[in-house]
A and B are shown apart, each in its own frame.
Chain A
Amino acid sequence: MASTERTKVILGHLKPAIGGDGVSSTGDFVCREFCSTSGVGEGIGTVKCGEETNTKSSICLQECAAVSAQTDKTPRVPKIRQEALKWNGWGYKDSRFVIGDNNEFSFSGSRYNIAGELPHFKAWIDSIEGFSPDNRSQSQDEIRSEKLPSVTRNEGFLEDVQKEGISFSFDPQDRLFRAHGHTLDEMFTLREGTFERIPDIVLWPTSHDVVCKIIELACKHDVCIIPFGGGTSVTKSLQCPVEEKRMIISLDMSQMNRILWVDEKNLTAHIEAGIMGLDLERELGNYGLCTGHEPDSMEFSSLGGWVATRASGMKKNVYGNIEDLLVHVKMVTPRGVLEKNCQVPRMSTGPDIHHVILGSEGTLGVVTEVTLRVRPLPPVRRYGSVVFPAFHQGVDFMREVAKQRCAPASIRLMDNEQFKFGQALKGPASSMWTSLMDSLKKVYVTKLKRFDPNLMVVATLLFEGNKEDVAAQEKKVYTIASDFGGLAGGEDNGQRGYNLTFAIAYLRDLGLDCYIIAESFETTVPWDRVIDLCRNVKERLYSECKRHGIQYRPLATCRVTQTYDSGACVYFYFAYMYRGLTNPIEVYEDIEAAARDEILGIGGSLSHHHGVGKLRKQWMTKAISAPGVETLRAIKKHLDPQNIFGNNCLI
């Protein structure tokens, strides 16, 4: 498959079937009951059973503005990030939810398939208590350079850096852009305040050797380095410690974005760590390969960041999480380069040194080059969905799928709130006919099958593989679904579920414009506690909001996003109207901490893939025991005795 084809497939997540002539995919909410005795074989789960669904080919690269004018080798995110990305919110400047003059909603730009009018959106957002499009809380237009902290200079270091000819910038906006990730607190600061401490300089290394040189100079002159990949952190890990007196270097890895070699025989690729997820898949596509690693942030997050935070991709069921993909990694530490001597699938040489690097969160060194396991591009990918009358049935279904180890590339269960949100992202019906079909389907599910629209949930599915395997897998999964009371919900509902992932990140900016605070957090939990955890955490959020005097009932919603043999990953979204609170961020953080205590209380983990950063350090001893933390400290002390990598994360 050509690389352009591959990119289209990936972009398919983001933007399938935009106005493809005649190929309308708005006929959603397809529901068919599956009977396990007959008719299972043909056309399961989809309306039309095309392989590598043809509709996808109607996506044109030209419509993806950021990509259109570029050659395959150009990264989607420029070196000067603020040229293409929002400085105070999520994602691309041209993409945002827009409230029209008559309070109608749309999504701007043309990058995403939800772009355009969103006729169902208003009804949904009105259901959030206290929301009013008329009450606006606008962000400041910019943080003027004079309001930003001045540069702490280490002249010796600067002199040496210049001698080496390393690209750098003192520009306040460049520095500001690298002073934060995307936690609520950081967005709030950008919109309404300023940071006490930001990096003093941005350096753009271009190769492993340059990084080695920079670390050497850093040790020599005692400066602090904070590695920067895609800037999508949600753990406050990029924030500069206020008490740091040394010069702080933001080591922006974005210019190290080359695939250095591809080995088709061994199915490995050696890649520089600064490459962004989407660029990586596009370029591997040239070889007919992919990593299959698709975290929700893949448009903007980097390979090195994935390694440093133990990232997880939504298709891990087929491709594995980052730790499974990792064949070899180089991390430059103040003590030298930490790496293995060969590129083999497994070795028994004491504790796996890769696991010192994975999840080290920039505290020990910086990841420069990575060898990943890659896979041939799958010939067929197909979305699907199943609706269940209630959440617990959906969870039982997920558990059974995990037990039988027949999980498709991605399988996610959205609760009722998210199911409704997914429906709110539907575009305008393309014709009377689809609109009529929609209503009929709705009548079928809610009246004939007696699904309660306020209880029903949807599991979204993504199958990948060759034609036969996908067909067999679909058959198995849909049979299990019907055993648990599920009705197939069609391909579009499935796809909409995945669109939602990308849209929801943009939604927060709309919320903040209207006094609504929104944030997400995640965990892993054993199967027997999944339902209890989801329910209790929501209840805890409600009761904590009440305790803090928040007058409007919050929106608390979750989805089960990953399945494992012995447990699942659960992802929560939480939003509330904060008008009337004098300290909304403190209140929010208090509530999130309470929710985390609740999670830990029921037997959930501190994090599945977001990491610890500075946000969750307080629980680390509880999470990995005191000797565990001491071990990590000892490693840190050995590898980085001067605390050059001083982002103050993890421990």
Chain B
Amino acid sequence: MAQSSDEYLDLLEPRRNQYDLSFALKHTASLLPEYQYVTHMTKAEIRTMVLKSRRLKHTVEEIVASNGRQEKDIYAEAEAILDEMAHEYSLNNIRFLAYIFAKTFKKLYGHIYVSKTGLEKLRKSYRDSPVVLLPTHRSYVDFLLISYMMFEYNLPLPYIAAGADFNNMKFVNTLLRKAGAFYIRRSFGADKLYWAIFTEYVQILVINGEAPLEFFPEGTRSRTGKFLPPKRGLLQVVVEPFMKGRVPDISLIPISISYDRILEETLHSREMLGIPKPKESTSGLFKASSIFQENFGNITVHIGDPVSLKQMSLISGVDRSVHSLAPRFIFSMNAQEQQFVQELCLSIQLMQQRHMVVSPWVLTAALLVMSPGYQTSLQGMYSDMEWLKGAATGLGTKVRWPVGKTVKSVLEDVLAVHHAMAVVDRDSIKLNVPQNVATAEEVMEVATVYIMLGAYRNQLLPSLAQPALVSLAFCGLNAATKGELFAQYQFLVTLFNRELTFHPKTTVDDFQSTLRKLQNSSFISVTGLQYSITSSGERLTSFLCNLLHPFLLGYWVVCRYLLSCPASLASVTEQSLAKTIQKEVAELIATGDLKSYDILSLNLLGNAISSLLQLGGIKRSKSGLTLIESEITKTAEKISEYIELPASLLTKPFAKKLAGPAAKL
């Protein structure tokens, strides 16, 4: 995508022209936009308000009634929880961080582009209602970047909901806390006291509207380049005060952050392979300082149009008056409201997806994955990239292609950034891995780079998944009726429900509009009732099918594996099952029966298992998993309609020795 200067500002440009110190000293409270009904509170006042809240009192009463604990003790615990949780602004601390990060970002990144109109709309929305920032989460850099950006543009620094695991990093945790981070435990499902304090604390921050709340709807960093299914918990806590009239409206701001190269790319791939992630620690952070030698390209931050919670609730027809009959300090969201929040999460995610920007490297990665043996000739790559740039852009992918640059020089640039992953060897381009792997162990050793490559390829999914599903719906045939296509499409939507983002209410519309888009670009033509792929559409549809090929193949392999297992898998969890299958896949790659390293990803295998749970192929119980053979067979057969399966796998039955994974786990 051509970057015209009036659309995007470069966050780093002023920093390259001014002293970082004077920058760190700017940002004064009086210049910040302010919510019209703002309530200013110190940390101590918020603390008192939480501890004296009617909600907490109610919860404490409940706990006392249920287990007879002393009220005094519960309140003491409450104070401890709150101290662990609460943020604490310190302007000096923020200035210090601003100084450090001005230096850091300049070192790591070429440009950080920020959408100008988005920024202006954000600034305006502060007056009318409390603001909640909802960025995508691909890297730890995300929240640092956003706070830094707010500092640069004289906007209030957000309260950041951070995972309590950060709290283990001495010194750093305090630095972040003083910059507005507050810490939430990863899981506290049944802990009523924690839940009440957390709810009250977050809602006070939102209702007061002094600064925006920021959290990641995906809940954690996505390590795969895809979007994680959104978690509605925190958004539900944010939405509740609106449902009960405590705020007139809330502005939700979807933010899409696109990185050319993700700082933790290697770590992420290793995690997807099951190599445990190092615990967050301050010493670990210093060890990671070698990254300063590296080039991480550019970042694009797109600030989406503010989404008015009031408007969304009006459109959905949620009935807020149901809360008239109970006091507002008792948390309650009925089924209709929960459904609303769920759909709101998905809508926000779809908005984020629309504004993700991909680097040309993503095109390279996608093409490399599809090339036999993950390598291809340079000339082929040039022409394929040129073609893909046009085709993908036509379908809505935002490719940041440097203005006026030839594909040759662009490829040189991206290879400079991603030299650890791919290399040019004479006139061909290939992965930076040893070519000869014979055992499953060796496969796992080299797999990191393949998974990393897949993660960049996956960045195309948000914009291309819909046309890809329609392409697959042709099932390799040249023509089909609309009804046939939709039936296939619908199955794929169900199958990939965790892999891709779908809004449950727009399945038909999505299908229709994708079909229309393909038709308008003459990739598909209609004669009578028959929809057929045109000759110009063949290259595209086959590319799109190949995009999802590894997923379908992976799901099929999972089905085949399960069919070789006994029906009852006692004390097997979904996670352990995924790991067992991963080993089998590694074997198959080592023997050359399977070529696709993507299937080694625990994320893909886990999603396949979840999908089978949803389709009824697997049933979960306390004792373990039960397999329903007929359903799994059905799914496997269905998948085989879309892709050609490796002949060797079809003929070679899965060894019976794998039949008892339970014993091994």
- Per DSSP, chain B at the interface is loop
B-chain residues with CB within 8 Å of residue A602 when the two chains form the complex: 244-245, 320, 324
Is the pair B245, A601 in contact by a Cβ cutoff of 8 Å? Answer: yes
Q: Does B436 contact A (CB under 8 A)?
A: no
Report yes or no: A536 in contact with B245, Cβ–Cβ below 8 A: yes
A539 at interface, CB cutoff 8 A: yes
Within 8 A of A (CB), among B287-323: 310, 319-321, 323
- A528 and B327 within 8 A (CB): yes
Residue among B247, B249, B321 with the most chain A CB within 10 A? B321
* Residue of B whose beta carbon sits closest to that of A538: B248
Q: Is the CB of A540 within 8 A of B321?
A: no
Name A543's contact: one of B310, B321, B324 (CB within 8 Å).
Answer: B310
Give min CB distance, A558 to chain B, whole Å: 14
A637 at the interface (CB under 8 A from B): no
Q: Which residues of A contact B328 (CB under 8 A)?
A: 528-529
**Interface 0/1 of A529-556, CB less than 8 Å to B:** 1001101100110010000000000000
Q: How far is the CA of A649 from the CA of B246 in the complex (A)?
A: 34
For A594-636 the 0/1 string (1 means CB < 8 A from B) is 0000001111000000000000000000100000000000000
- The reply to whether B37 and A603 form a contact with Cβ atoms under 8 Å apart is no
Give the chain B neighbours of A539 by CB distance below 8 A.
Answer: 128, 248-249
On chain A, the residues within 8 Å of B320 by CB distance are 601-602
What residues on A are CB-neighbors of B319 within 8 Å?
Answer: 601
How far is it, in angstroms, between the C-alpha of A622 and the C-alpha of B245 when the chains are bound? 18
A535-B321 contact given A528-B327, A528-B328, A543-B310, CB 8 Å threshold: no
Contact A622 B248 (CB under 8 A): no
Q: Whole-angstrom distance from the CB of A299 to the nearest CB of chain B?
A: 35
Distance A381 CA – B327 CA, assembled complex (angstroms): 38
Q: How far is the CA of A445 from the CA of B386 in the complex (A)?
A: 73
Kindly list chain B residues whose C-beta atoms are within 8 Å of the C-beta of A622. 321
| Chain B residues within an 8 Å CB radius of A603 | 245, 321, 323-324
Q: Are A535 and B323 touching (Cβ within 8 A)?
A: no
A421 to chain B, nearest CB (A): 21
B246 touches A532 (CB 8 A): yes
Q: How many residues of B contact A (CB 8 A)?
A: 16
Q: How far is the CA of A532 from the CA of B207 in the complex (A)?
A: 11
Q: How far is the CA of A69 from the CA of B627 in the complex (A)?
A: 98
Across-interface contacts of A600 in B (CB, < 8 A): 321, 324
Task: Give the Cβ gap from A36 to chain B, nearest Cβ, in Å.
Answer: 24
Q: Are B245 and A532 in contact (CB under 8 A)?
A: yes
Across the two chains, which residue of chain B brings its CB closest to A528? B328
Cα A533 to Cα B248 in complex, Å, equals 9
Chain A residue with the shortest CB-CB distance to B328? A528
A543 partner residues in chain B, CB cutoff 8 A: 249, 310
How far apart are B213's CB and chain A's nearest CB, in angstroms? Answer: 19
B323 adjacent to A536 (CB under 8 Å):
no
| Min C-beta distance of B297 to chain A, whole Å | 42
Within the complex, what minimum Cβ distance (angstroms) separates B174 from chain A? 35
Note all chain A residues with C-beta closer than 8 A to B128: 539
Residue among A533, A535, A539, A601 with most chain B CB within 10 A: A601
B327 neighbours in A (Cβ, 8 Å): 528
A553 to chain B, nearest CB (A): 13
**Which chain A residues in 513-533 approach chain B with CB under 8 Å?**
528-529, 532-533
A533 B245 Cβ-Cβ under 8 A: yes
Taking the closest CB of chain A, its distance from the CB of B459, in whole angstroms, is 37
Instruction: Output the nearest chain B residue to A603 by Cβ-Cβ distance.
Output: B324
Kindly report which residue of chain B lies nearest to residue A529, judged by CB atoms. B245
* Chain B CB within 10 Å, residue with most, of A528, A533, A600, A603: A603
Whether A601 lies near B321 (C-beta < 8 A) is yes
What CA separation (Å) do A603 and B324 show in the bound complex? 4
Give the distance to chain A from B55, nearest Cβ to Cβ, in Å: 13
Question: Complex Cα distance A600/B37, Å?
Answer: 22
Distance, CA A539 to CA B247, complexed state (A) = 10
A536→B248 contact, CB < 8 A: yes
Residues of A near B321 (CB, < 8 A) are: 600-601, 603, 622
Find chain A residues with CB under 8 A from B247 CB. 536
Q: Would you list which residues of chain B between 122 and 137 have a CB under 8 Å from chain A? A: 128
Q: Which one of A528, A529, A535, A601 contacts B37 once the chains associate, using CB atoms below 8 Å? A: A535
For A533, A536, A540, the residue with the greatest tally of chain B CB atoms inside 10 Å of its CB is A536
The 0/1 profile, CB within 8 Å of A marked 1, for residues 552-563 of chain B is 000000000000
- Chain B residues with Cβ below 8 Å from A540 are 248, 310
Closest to B321 in A: A600
Nearest-Cβ distance from residue A316 to partner chain B, whole angstroms: 23
Contact with A along B245-260 (1 / 0, CB 8 A): 1111100000000000
A535 close to B324 (CB less than 8 A): no
Shortest Cβ distance from residue A570 to the other chain B in the assembled complex, whole angstroms:
13
A600 to B319, CA, bound (A): 9
Contact with A along B84-128 (1 / 0, CB 8 A): 000000000000000000000000000000000000000000001
A232 CB to nearest B CB, Å:
29
Task: Provide the bound-state CA to CA distance between A570 and B288, in Å.
Answer: 61
Q: How far is the CA of A603 from the CA of B244 in the complex (A)?
A: 8
- What's the Cα separation between A610 and B142 when bound, in Å? 54
A interface footprint on B318-343 (CB within 8 Å = 1, 0 otherwise): 01110110011000000000000000
Which single residue of chain A is at the shortest CB-CB distance from B325? Answer: A603
Q: Quote the shortest CB–CB distance from A134 to chain B (angstroms).
A: 32
B126: min CB distance to chain A, Å: 15
Bound together, the chains give a CA A602 to CA B319 distance in angstroms of 10
Residues of A within 8 A of B37 (CB): 535
**Please, which residues of chain B bring their CB within 8 A of the CB of A535?**
37, 248
Q: How far is the CA of A602 from the CA of B245 in the complex (A)?
A: 5
Cα of A535 to Cα of B128 in the assembled complex, Å: 12
Residues of B within 8 A of A532 (CB): 245-246
Chain B residues whose C-beta falls within 8 Å of the C-beta of A529 in the assembled complex? 245, 328
Looking across the interface, which residue of chain B has its beta carbon closest to that of A532?
Answer: B245
* Distance between Cα atoms of A412 and B559 in the complex (Å): 72
Bound CA span A573–B246, Å? 22
Tell me which residues across on chain A come within 8 A of B249, comparing CB atoms. 539, 543
Q: How far is the CA of A622 from the CA of B322 in the complex (A)?
A: 10
CB distance from A412 to the nearest CB of B (A): 23
Question: In angstroms, how far is the closest chain A Cβ from the Cβ of B640?
Answer: 52
Bound-state Cα–Cα, A536 to B313, Å:
15
What is the distance, in angstroms, from A628's C-beta to the closest C-beta of chain B? 15
- Shortest CB-to-CB span from B499 to chain A, Å, is 38
CB distance from B13 to the nearest CB of A (A): 36
- The residues of B that contact A528 with a CB separation of less than 8 Å are 327-328
**C-alpha spacing A533/B321, complex, angstroms:** 12
Bound Cα distance A95, B249 (Å)? 42
Shortest CB–CB separation between residue A214 and chain B, in angstroms? Answer: 42
Closest residue of chain B to A600 (Cβ to Cβ) is B321
- Report the bound CA distance from A540 to B128 in whole Å: 11
CB distance from A243 to the nearest CB of B (A): 30
- A536 to chain B: which residues have CB within 8 Å? 245, 247-248
The smallest beta-carbon distance between A566 and chain B, in angstroms, is 12
Assembled-state Cα–Cα distance A600/B327 (Å): 15
Q: Name which residue of chain A comes closest to B323, CB basis.
A: A603
Interface string of A236-247 (1 = CB under 8 A from B): 000000000000
Task: Report the bound CA distance from A186 to B24 in whole Å.
Answer: 63
Q: How far is the CA of A411 from the CA of B244 in the complex (A)?
A: 28
Measured CB to CB, the nearest residue on chain A to B318 is: A601
Within the complex, the shortest CB–CB distance from A529 to chain B, in Å, comes to 6
**Extra contacts besides A536-B248, A600-B321, A603-B245 (16): CB < 8 Å:** A528-B327, A529-B245, A532-B245, A532-B246, A536-B245, A539-B128, A539-B249, A540-B248, A540-B310, A543-B249, A543-B310, A601-B319, A601-B321, A602-B244, A602-B320, A603-B324
17 contacts between A and B (CB under 8 A): A528-B327, A528-B328, A529-B245, A533-B245, A535-B248, A536-B245, A536-B247, A539-B128, A539-B248, A540-B248, A540-B310, A543-B310, A600-B324, A601-B245, A602-B244, A603-B245, A603-B321
Which A residues are within 8 Å of any B CB, using their own CB?
528-529, 532-533, 535-536, 539-540, 543, 600-603, 622
The 9 A-B residue pairs with the shortest CB-CB distance in the complex, in nearest-first order: A602-B245, A601-B320, A539-B248, A603-B324, A536-B248, A532-B245, A600-B321, A601-B321, A536-B245
